[in-house]
Amino acid sequence: MITALSGETSDASRLRATVDFVREQDTATLLRLLLPGLDGPELRALAERCAFSHAALLVFPSGRAELEATLADCGLVADAPPTPSVVVRERLAVRHKRRAAELDVAILRPAVECRDGVRRTVEVFALTVPPGSGLGEVAAYERARQHETHVAFEVEAPDPLVLRGLCAAFGQYGATPDGGGYNPHENGTVFYFAAPAEAKAGYGRVELYVPGDHRDLLDAHMEAHRARQPAETLLRLLTGAWTTQALAAFARLEVADAMDGERGVGLAELAHTVGALAPNLATLLRYLTMLGVVSEDRDGFRLTDTGGLLRADAEGSMRSLALMYGGPFYASFAGLDHTVRTGQVAFERHFGENHFEHFARDPELAGLFDQSMAAGARMFDPLPDHPVLVAAAGGAAGRAAEAAAEGAAAVRAVEAAAEGAAAEGAEGATVVDIAGGNGELLGRILSAHPRLRGVLLERPHTVETARRLLGAAGHTGRCAFLPGSFADVPAGGDVYILSRVLHDWDDDRCREILRHCARAMSPTAELLVVERVLPDDGSASLATAWDLHMMCNVGGRERRADHYARLFADAGLTLVGRSPLPLDGTVLHVRRA
């Protein structure tokens, strides 16, 4: 076994041993030592995609002068000034229960000329330990355990497929995820692995360094690491409520609206604009920085793409969702155990009425709820291109003969849409959006297909909101507005839509709603049902989270596709197809049986 740092504890002696180790190694030899069993084509493939770049250690100078003297004593010269460490500083803060701001950790990378002719580096992490600072205990602990000592390989081509393959290969030969992070100062992503117990390199940790921002892949790596730390995993899960309220507070205070993604804003200016205490706002912003909602640099705080969605004026704004999930729905979730035990909806127990009645009595809350429903509108992006709607837009499908047998108001709604469309020269079919909210989805469909006509069926107060919004989009001439309930589904439509409606109700009520649809539909009419469908195999899905939400707050549920198929059959309908949508959505294509 090669023991790089055996028995030597002073910074200078540890640094010399690291220099000697780097000088003697090459990529293929070191990979074979770290991952026993790796050989042949697999070894060559890995060696072609990542290269041994450095060995690292953590030292503890009292200041810059002592650090430079130690480097010089080991024959090392730093080619560039130190840069701040993010990953190691955060790890030390967590390990020693200290604020990261208390720890001054820098990175230097002096070069070493190696025996194989390659120029590599020694990565020196330097935690400054001024006399009397109280950090001596941290230094003694870290010297003894050498947690930050590791060897590193730099990925030659930072392609996501290559990176996934490298991580999988390390796992195949016994290395396990051991943390990591993104360093914005260098725009580099670090993936740490614990070397297998039988490794013979003398180093217990391995780093894959990838230039660029690869936090999407890092998330899965970190999740695997946390799965091996059950207490930490549980603690992170238990603090999920803090995240909800931090985002809701950020939205309520309108902090996002006082920021942008281009210009950094100073803390004092932000606090003054939103009317908050600067130190308290700083605590909130630090937490949101950890979540990736905001970022901080020398110019102050700025919004990330994620945080930008909490601006009221952002396209696809999700501010209303943050206010709903951090407001009434948050309050009702405190009664989840009561729902699980008794079946009583927690929202109704907390507020004394169901959520539809509660929102209807409060116009401001009702408006917020309708906005929150529209906030998930990215789910609708592909829907106007569904073959059913494309075909319907191709020509007049005609209203069904059964229309005359239905209620006069329903017939007039479809006729009004047809008359308005005729005045504009449209010849397409009629789309009926049942409980269509503020018209977000119907508006998208009418914008995509100028030949289509629309009917929106909703509660009276919501119909008026939809009338204003669709009017502002220029669709009033092709759209009729029908105040009413599910019993008022109009006949004569060519395509009917139920978007995120059935999950609000139990099976009996769903059958009733679907029977109203079936009675209104002609033999040639189509029904599109948009829902989050529970996966058949139990894999991770937003539908599973929403299933819990619907049970607690509405008394409804999410369902599997076969469950929906049974409900359709009970109502005289049949499921003929399904297609995926964004945000784990699904569109179910249904016809009369």
The catalytic residues are 503
Strand pairing partners for 52?
Answer: 153
Q: Quick one: which of 541, 527, 453, 461 has its CA closest to 489?
A: 527
Q: What burial letters (b/e) apply to 534-568, b meaning 16+ CB within 10 Å? A: beeeeeebebeebbebbbbbbbbbbbeeeebbebb
CB 187 within 8 A of CB 212: yes
Distances (CA, A) of 375 to 190, 311, 323: 34, 12, 12
For every residue of 539-581, DSSP letters joined together read ---HHHHHHHHHHHHTS---EEHHHHHHHHHHTTEEEEEEEEE
Measured between alpha carbons, how far is residue 45 from residues 30, 40, 51, 170 in Å? Answer: 14, 9, 11, 12
- The stretches of 173-211 forming alpha helices (DSSP H) are none
Integer CA distances (angstroms), 231 to 3, 228, 465, in order: 32, 9, 48
CA neighbor of 188 nearest in space, from 109, 259, 260, 119: 109
Give the tokens for residue 405.
Answer: 């047998």
What stretch of H or E contains 230?
Answer: helix 230-238
| Residue 551 CB contacts under 8 Å (≥ 6 apart), including other chains | 339, 345, 557
Q: CB-based contacts of 201: which residues, under 8 Å, 6+ apart?
A: 2, 4, 30, 33, 34, 151, 195
Helix ranges (DSSP H) in 35-86: 40-49, 64-73
Cβ atoms 534, 544 nearer than 8 A? yes
The answer for residues whose C-beta is within 8 angstroms of residue 17's C-beta and 6 or more apart is 4, 5, 6, 8
DSSP-derived pairing of the beta strands 150-155 and 205-211: parallel
Contacts with 160 (C-beta within 8 Å, 6 or more apart), sequence order: 214, 216, 217
Residue by residue, DSSP assigns 247-284 as HHHHHHTTTGGG--SSS-B-HHHHHHHHT--HHHHHHH
Query: Would you say the C-alpha torsion 568, 569, 573, 574 has a positive or negative sign?
Result: positive
Local structure of 528: helix, strand or coil: strand
Q: For residues 297 and 309, what is the distance between their CA atoms, to the nearest angstrom?
A: 21
Residues 6+ apart with CB under 8 A from 414: 399, 403, 430, 432, 455, 480, 490, 491, 492, 493
Two structure tokens written together for 16: 């010399």
Rounded Cα distance between 577 and 459, Å, is 30
Could you tell me if residue 380 is left (phi over 0), alpha (psi between -120 and 50 degrees) or otherwise beta? alpha
Locus of tokens 């100028």: 450
